[in-house]
Structure formats: structure tokens, C-alpha cells
């Protein structure tokens, strides 16, 4: 250490406390990085790597970025998952005795960003904290620092289900204790989530702010709050009390189901286009867009709360003029939640406060429009809206219209707000008028028309004469100040005196404006909770008008809810698919799951629309429980507590899991978590293994769901043998997606009809995919031979070929002893493997 210069010693001491972050070390107008930070940053940011003499034997690596452009470079590092520690000069270099004092004023991490390119205006950026309790309870707390929203939830689950929730909420950074870090480390690395191990708890410090929450969630919330305060090192008056969410109050949808149903992003493109969110988003504000995503994550499970939302949407759908008036006013509203955050941080600029003022000026219009509604629920929204007239009045008195971006530019504070500022402005303005008059006077005295009085920061005010006109002036009145190539600059005693007055007034007025603006910002900090309450109401109004707007455009209807379990959707459509097609092309379908028949077994060829049909049922339920109208002629629905889907198949290459294992894990999650109030969607279960294994698993699962769970279920399959279950599984009903042949070509009708499908049309589908004609022709020959061979077999031979063979009595007894209703899919798979082994052994012994 002693071999380095004092400044470099200071750097190394500070860096010691921030080994996991890039240290942006302020030197004048630059942030510099040294040693390994410089080497890595130069590569990641593609900036020049240089070196510096720091007193040691060898020069040290160095790179830097300009202070005014640093945010762009920080964003690039944060978006790649790195942390940045910002070290500022906290002492005036002119007053420093030795090395200028420096301190880290903030550590920015992927989860604590509040501005920059990594921020999407319509997406929350969450920092989370998680724990697993010994009794099998998972706890997850998360905060959006830019808006101050904080939530904590708990549910039954282990590390995997906890991580699925983290993925679902798109949490950027997760704080965990060391034991949980070991369980989640690989998952976090593969998914790009930043995992931070932090066991520091300051329960006493946060006890008062957490007292409204159950005590078992306090450690998780405390870890989160402690991390925020130690990294951000500034005021967080906008942080709202944690909202505790009971899972039973919401429709639970796991991460895989949200992905399969394409609620927030499309599977193919990965962006919002083609998702349910994209279809529903007609919001006018960033707050409304974020609120819509929150409602998509957590649809309601309370009939009363759902009906209240539907009533508001109904009122706005009927009252076009009210809806249009609200949309126009919302267009003038800025992001109040993030404006409140910037005020709390102390980095809100003049234009931020001007945006706040403009937004609050709309509140009386909102209140009047809502209160005049004949819909009682809508009018009650107006009654609860705070118009914040005192805050608006303060801002109108304080701020000039269209203020500059930075307060240091001046002309921010309104005339009449502060008498001393008015005096200084008057002196400054009169002084400039005096200078203009002096310029005209000197031109008249000298007769020099191009004489001018100018100003620059180095020499101040001056009288400038070109070399060709100097002889025309009485130089005894002037004092030379600067010589140029083609001109001379002079000053007079009178001008020098006025210059001191003007510059003093200008400098003092800027400093006073800065003080007044900061005081105004501090005053606004005290009303942040009121601004946040207004923001919450406006964001909800924005989502409601968005629902009404899309419901009118897409011909949606109000769903009906009842206390039973019957699900009756008449002429239902998949709203996203329909919007991407011509509505005349889309074929609507009914789905009627009654108390006596609440399980559909769906057959039909590939590409016929089985998966789309299943998805549209789930999306109808989700939209309805969000409080939105739905794509149908009528929808009578139960309150659903959970939705589980197993649609589509893909290997999890990162974890080394096959399609079949992924399928089994997701199916196990559904069966273990479902209740009789859940909705289950299974698409072609068992296709990833052998035919008989797959059929056995599919049948066992359907029987278990039917006998033990009782949930509403849609189950599609290509195993036509399973259609025989309609005779033995009481509440199961066969339906199929119709297709027909026309001139040797398959025609998909996309219509769901009663009964099983009679053909699979597999070769026809291959033909549609432009499989070579030689392969298609050969496949038809083989199919004909197989069907002919099958027809010639005796009943006994058919039975043996389909059932492998009837084996010895001991194996038969083992089969009969299996408790199918108490066997999970994975256990069934293990039993089948063991029985197969015994059959093969028995067969060898028989030979």
C-alpha cells in the first residue's frame, strides 16, 4: 500500500469494501477505474484501456468515462448483471488539505436500478428476498425501488416452487441466506437472475415498519430493507409498507403455465407481441401498464372483488363519453409513481416537478367526471380521489412554465415566489439593459457602427473595436483588456462597476434558485403518500378503461360467476389468436364442464386446434377473474383457485432434463398442488416415452384426477385406446376436433364435437409439411399393410400384441394390488419399469 501515491491508497482502501462491484472513482470530470476493474470494464464497455503512474514500480491499468455520460456506461454493466459503486468527491477540492475526501454514495445493482436504459416504463423492476421455513413454507418479499411498491407473500412449497415464483415475477436480483443460495445457485445462473447471498438481519431497526405483517415474514423483509439502506445510502420516504398477499385471495398460475398460455410474452418471439398482455394493453400511462401486468400475474379469487371490477368495466363500456374523457385526461398524466420515487431520492429535476404539476392539474377533471357517473361503483372512485389542490397550487406558484432540465441553468422559480430572487433578477435584467444602452451610447460618441459590448467567462464584459476603427475612438477613456488578431477589447471604470453588479446578481440568483428548488423538493417529500394514493387510483382507472376499450373492439361479453364448479363457455374464442386472424376465419367453440361431466378427453389430428382450444378456456378464466370481459357469447364460470398446464414439450437442455422428464415434473406439480376448484390442462401426456408406458401413465393420471382431485380438466391425447375410458370413468366425456378429407387432402374444421376422433390423419399432416412424396407414398403402403395385418389377427393375438402378453400370476397379483388412486405419475413410471423387467425375465425363462 505504501508504495502507491496517497490518492491511489485512498482508492484501494475504498475498493476493499466493494470487491463485488465496479468502483467508479470520481476524478474531476471523469469516473476512473483501475487495476482489474479497468481491464474488465474496457473489454465489456469497449473503451480504451490506458495506464497511470501511481507511485508503484509499474504503471497500473486505467480506463475512464466522462461524468456527464456515465449513466450509459453504468446501464451497460447493470444490464449484464454487474454492480456499480459510485464514489464521489464529497469535499471542495479548493478547500482540501491533501487528498480530496471521497466516499461511495450509492451502490447500483441489477435489482436497485431506478432509471436508465434497463428500465421499461411499463414493467416493474423488482429486488427480492426469499426464505424457506422448516415447516415447508416459502416466503418471498419484493420491492420496486423506482415506485416504492413492496409486497410479501408466503405459500407451501420448496426451493423449486419458490424459484418458479421468482421467475414468474421477473425479479432481477434475489437476496437469500447461504443455505438457500446453495439450492438456487445453478437455477439462478441458468436463468440470468442475480443471486446475492446476504444473511444480515436488522430486525430491531425495521420492527416498527413491519409490525402490520405476520412475524414469520419479518426476517425476509428485514434482509431486503437492510440491503436497500446499505447500498443506496439515501432517503426512501416513498417506500410503501409491505403489502401481505394471501395466496387464497388470488388465482394462482405457476411460471410454466404463464409461459405456456403466453400471458406476458409470446413463446416464439419472446416479446409482448402475440401475448394476452399485448392484446389487453390499451393503457395511456406507464402506471396503468404496470398495473395491468400485476393483475395478469395475480387474477382475483374473490367473487365480490371480481364483480366490482366487472361493474366498473361495464359502466365504462356503456358510457363512451366518460371513457373518452378519462382517456384524454390520462394522456396528460405522467408516471406519478416514479416521479414520487425521484422526489424521495432527491434527484428530481425541474422538469420532473413540472410533469408532477401537469399531472395533478388533471385531478379535478377526473373527480368531476367520475362523480357524475350513474354507475355507483365508478362514482365512488371519484369520491375517494384526492384532488391535491394544495400541492398543485404550491407548484404553480413556485415553478415557471417549461423550466429547463437542470436547476443550475436558472429560470426555474416563478417571479413573486421569493422577494430576494426578484431583486436579484431585477438587478441582473436592468444591468443588461444598461449595457445595451451603453453600447448604443458609445456608438454615437465614437461614430463606430460595429462597436459592440460582449461577454465571456474569462474576461467578463468588454468593449470591442476592430483594428480599422480604433483611430476613431478616444482611447483615453478606455483601458485595454485583451488584444486579438483583428480587434482590441477595452473596459471602462463604469462598465467594470456594472459588471460586478450584474455577475454578482446572476451568480447569487442561480444559487438562490437552487436553494429554493431544493426546499420545494423537500416540502414535496412530505406529501409523497398522497401522490402514491392518487397514482394507485389513476392506474386502476387506466386499466379499467383499457378493458372497456378492448372489450368493445373485440366484442367481449361480461362473464357470470356462481358458487358451483360448472364451467360453461358458449361460442368461446381465443382472443389473441382471433385478433391475429380475420375474425370471420376463427372458429368458435363451446366448452361445457358440468358437475356430472367435468373432464374432457380431446382427440383429433395434429394442427386441428386442440391446444388452442385448451388455451382459450384457461385464458377465458384468467381474463374473467382479472375483471375483464371475455371472448364468448356467454361465460358461466366457477371461482378457480389455480390453473396448471402441461402444453407443449421442450427439453430442458441446461438442466439436462429430457422432454419426458420436464413433462413428468410439470404434471407432478399440477397433481400435487391441484384442488377440486382448480383447472387442469394436459396436452398429449406420455408422448415422450413408449406407447404402452405413455398410455398407462395417461390413464392413471386421469383416473387419479377423477377419483381423488375432482378438478375441471381438459386432457388431449393421440392414444385412441384411452377413449374407452368414457365407459369406466364416470365424469369423463369424449370430444374431438373435427377434420375431414376432400379430394385426398385433409381439411381441418377446428370444430369441437362430441365423441372420439375416428382417424389421426398423421400422413396427411406430413404431406402438408411438404414431406418428400416418396416417403408419403411408402408410408401409405406401410399403413395399409399394418391395418391389414391387424385385421387378420385373432382376438387373442390382438390382445397379446396390445397388452404385451398375459404374464404369470405373481405379476398379475402385483398389478391388482396397486392403489391407482394413491399413485403419483412418477411412482407409476417406476412400477411399470419394474414390471417390465419381471416380464422380460419371465419371457426368457419361458423360452
Q: Which residues are paired to 466 by β-bridges?
A: 487
- Cell numbers for 557: 361479453
- Cβ atoms of 575 and 690 within 8 Å: the answer is no
Length of the chain: 847
Distances (CA, A) of 207 to 164, 228, 244, 711: 29, 16, 16, 42
Q: Tell me: is residue 611 an annotated ligand-binding position.
A: yes
SS3 annotation, 390-439: HHHHHHHHHECCCCCCCHHHCCCECCCCCHHHHHHHHHHHHHHHHHHHHH
Determine whether the annotation assigns residue 609 to a binding site.
yes
Name the DSSP letter for residue 705.
I
Per-residue burial over 671-700, b if 16 or more Cβ lie within 10 Å, else e, is bebbeebbbbbbbbbbbbbeebbbbbbbbb
E strands, 586-695, in order: 589-593, 599-603, 634-638, 642-646, 679-683
Paired sense of beta strands 487-491 and 127-132, if any: unpaired
Q: Compute CA distances 551 → 47, 281, 585, whole Å.
A: 51, 11, 19
Separation in Å, CA 228 to CA 106, 128, 165, 201 = 10, 11, 21, 12
* DSSP structure string for 802-840: HHS----HHHHHHHHH--GGG--HHHHHHHHHHHHHHHH
Closest CA relative to residue 222, chosen from 244, 191, 199:
199
Strands 567-572 and 560-562: unpaired
**631, 554 Cβ separation under 8 angstroms:** yes
Does 608 carry a binding-site annotation? yes
Does the annotation place 604 within a ligand binding site? yes
Residue 756 assigned to a binding site: no
Alpha helices in 331-362 (DSSP H): 336-345, 350-360
Q: Residue 219 annotated as binding?
A: no
Has 447 been labeled as part of a binding site? no
Query: Contact at 8 Å (CB) between 357 and 391?
Result: no
User: Which residues line the annotated binding site for ATP?
Assistant: 604-611
User: Which residues line the annotated binding site?
Assistant: 604-611
Amino acid at each position: 500500500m505504501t508504495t502507491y501515491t496517497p490518492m491511489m491508497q485512498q482508492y484501494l482502501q475504498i475498493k476493499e469494501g466493494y470487491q463485488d462491484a465496479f468502483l467508479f472513482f470520481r476524478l474531476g470530470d471523469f469516473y476512473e477505474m483501475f487495476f482489474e476493474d479497468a481491464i474488465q470494464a474496457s473489454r465489456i464497455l469497449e473503451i480504451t484501456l490506458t495506464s497511470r503512474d501511481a507511485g508503484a514500480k509499474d504503471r497500473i491499468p486505467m480506463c475512464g468515462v466522462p461524468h456527464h455520460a456515465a449513466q450509459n456506461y453504468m446501464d451497460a454493466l447493470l444490464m449484464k448483471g454487474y454492480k456499480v459503486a459510485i464514489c464521489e468527491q464529497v469535499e471542495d477540492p479548493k478547500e482540501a488539505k491533501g487528498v480530496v475526501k471521497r466516499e461511495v454514495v450509492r451502490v447500483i445493482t441489477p435489482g436497485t436500478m431506478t432509471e436508465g436504459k434497463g428500465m421499461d416504463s411499463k414493467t416493474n423492476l423488482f429486488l427480492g428476498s426469499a426464505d424457506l421455513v422448516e415447516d415447508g413454507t416459502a416466503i418471498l418479499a419484493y420491492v420496486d425501488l423506482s415506485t416504492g411498491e413492496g409486497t410479501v407473500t408466503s405459500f407451501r412449497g420448496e426451493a423449486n416452487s419458490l424459484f418458479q415464483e421468482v421467475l414468474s415475477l421477473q425479479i432481477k436480483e434475489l437476496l437469500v441466506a447461504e443455505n438457500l443460495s446453495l439450492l438456487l445457485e445453478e437455477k439462478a445462473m441458468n436463468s440470468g437472475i442475480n443471486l446475492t447471498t446476504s444473511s444480515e438481519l436488522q430486525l430491531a431497526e425495521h420492527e416498527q415498519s413491519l409490525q402490520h405483517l405476520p412475524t414469520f415474514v419479518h426476517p425476509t423483509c428485514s434482509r431486503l430493507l437492510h440491503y436497500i439502506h446499505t447500498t443506496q445510502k439515501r432517503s426512501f420516504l416513498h417506500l410503501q409498507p409491505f403489502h401481505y398477499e394471501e395466496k387464497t385471495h388470488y388465482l394462482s398460475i405457476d411460471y410454466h403455465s404463464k409461459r405456456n398460455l403466453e400471458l406476458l410474452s409470446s413463446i416464439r418471439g419472446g416479446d409482448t407481441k402475440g401475448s394476452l398482455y399485448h392484446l389487453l394493453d390499451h393503457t395511456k400511462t406507464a402506471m396503468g401498464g404496470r398495473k395491468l401486468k400485476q393483475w395478469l400475474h395475480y387474477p382475483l379469487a374473490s367473487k365480490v372483488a371480481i364483480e366490482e371490477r366487472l361493474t366498473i368495466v361495464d359502466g365504462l363500456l356503456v358510457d363512451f363519453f366518460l371513457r373518452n374523457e378519462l382517456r384524454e385526461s390520462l394522456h396528460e398524466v405522467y408516471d406519478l409513481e416514479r416521479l414520487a420515487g425521484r422526489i424521495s431520492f432527491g434527484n428530481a429535476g425541474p422538469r420532473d416537478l413540472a410533469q408532477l404539476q401537469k399531472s395533478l392539474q388533471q385531478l379535478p377533471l377526473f373527480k368531476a367526471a367520475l362523480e357524475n357517473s350513474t354507475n355507483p361503483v365508478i362514482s365512488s372512485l371519484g369520491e375517494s380521489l384526492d384532488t391535491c389542490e394544495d400541492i398543485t397550487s404550491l407548484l404553480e406558484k413556485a415553478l415557471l412554465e417549461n423550466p429547463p432540465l437542470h436547476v443550475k441553468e436558472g429560470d426555474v422559480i416563478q417571479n413573486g415566489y421569493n422577494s430576494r430572487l426578484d431583486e436579484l433578477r431585477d438587478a441582473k435584467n436592468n444591468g443588461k439593459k444598461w449595457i445595451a444602452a451603453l453600447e448604443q451610447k458609445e456608438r454615437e460618441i465614437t461614430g463606430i457602427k460595429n462597436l459592440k459590448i460582449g461577454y465571456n467567462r474569462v474576461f467578463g464584459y468588454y468593449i470591442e473595436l476592430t483594428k480599422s476603427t480604433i483611430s476613431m475612438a478616444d482611447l483615453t477613456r478606455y483601458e485595454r483588456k485583451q488584444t486579438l488578431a483583428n480587434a482590441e477589447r477595452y473596459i471602462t471604470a463604469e462598465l467594470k462597476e456594472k459588471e460586478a453588479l450584474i455577475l454578482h446578481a446572476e451568480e447569487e440568483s442561480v444559487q438562490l434558485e437552487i436553494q429554493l428548488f431544493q426546499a420545494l423538493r423537500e416540502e414535496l417529500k412530505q406529501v409523497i403518500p398522497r401522490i402514491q394514493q392518487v397514482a394507485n387510483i389513476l392506474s386502476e382507472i387506466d386499466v379499467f378503461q383499457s378493458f372497456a376499450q378492448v372489450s368493445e373492439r373485440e366484442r367481449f361479453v361480461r362473464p357470470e360467476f356462481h358458487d358451483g364448479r360448472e364451467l360453461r363457455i358458449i361460442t368461446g374464442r381465443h382472443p389473441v389468436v382471433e385478433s391475429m386472424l380475420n375474425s370471420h376465419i376463427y372458429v368458435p367453440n363451446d366448452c361445457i364442464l358440468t358437475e356430472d361431466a367435468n373432464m374432457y378427453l380431446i382427440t383429433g389430428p395434429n394442427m386441428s386446434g386442440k391446444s388452442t382450444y385448451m388455451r382459450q378456456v384457461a385464458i377465458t378464466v384468467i381474463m374473467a377473474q382479472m375483471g375483464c370481459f371475455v371472448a364468448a357469447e356467454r361465460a358461466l364460470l366457477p371461482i378457480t383457485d389455480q390453473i396448471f398446464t402441461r402444453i407443449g414439450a421442450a427439453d430442458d437442455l441446461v438442466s439436462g432434463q429430457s422432454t419426458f422428464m420436464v413433462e413428468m415434473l410439470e404434471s407432478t406439480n399440477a397433481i400435487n398442488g391441484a384442488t377440486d376448484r382448480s383447472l387442469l390442462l394436459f396436452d398429449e401426456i406420455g408422448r415422450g416415452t413408449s406407447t404402452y408406458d405413455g398410455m398407462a401413465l395417461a390413464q392413471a393420471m386421469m383416473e387419479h384426477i377423477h377419483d381423488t382431485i375432482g378438478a375441471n380438466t381438459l386432457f388431449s391425447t393421440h392414444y385412441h385406446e384411452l377413449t374407452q375410458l368414457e365407459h369406466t370413468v364416470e365424469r369423463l366425456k369424449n370430444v374431438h376436433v373435427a377434420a375431414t378429407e376432400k379430394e385426398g387432402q385433409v381439411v381441418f374444421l377446428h370444430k369441437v364435437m362430441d365423441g372420439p376422433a375416428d382417424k389421426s390423419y398423421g400422413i396427411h399432416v406430413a404431406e402438408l409439411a411438404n414431406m418428400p412424396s416418396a416417403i408419403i407414398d411408402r408410408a401409405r403402403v406401410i399403413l395399409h399393410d399394418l391395418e391389414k395385418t391387424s385385421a387378420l389377427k385373432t382376438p387373442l393375438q390382438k390382445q397379446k400384441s396390445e397388452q404385451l402378453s398375459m404374464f404369470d400370476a405373481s405379476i398379475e397379483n402385483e398389478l391388482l394390488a396397486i392403489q391407482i388412486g394413491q399413485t403419483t405419475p412418477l411412482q407409476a413410471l417406476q412400477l411399470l419399469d419394474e414390471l417390465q423387467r419381471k416380464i422380460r425375465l419371465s419371457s426368457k425363462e419361458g423360452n
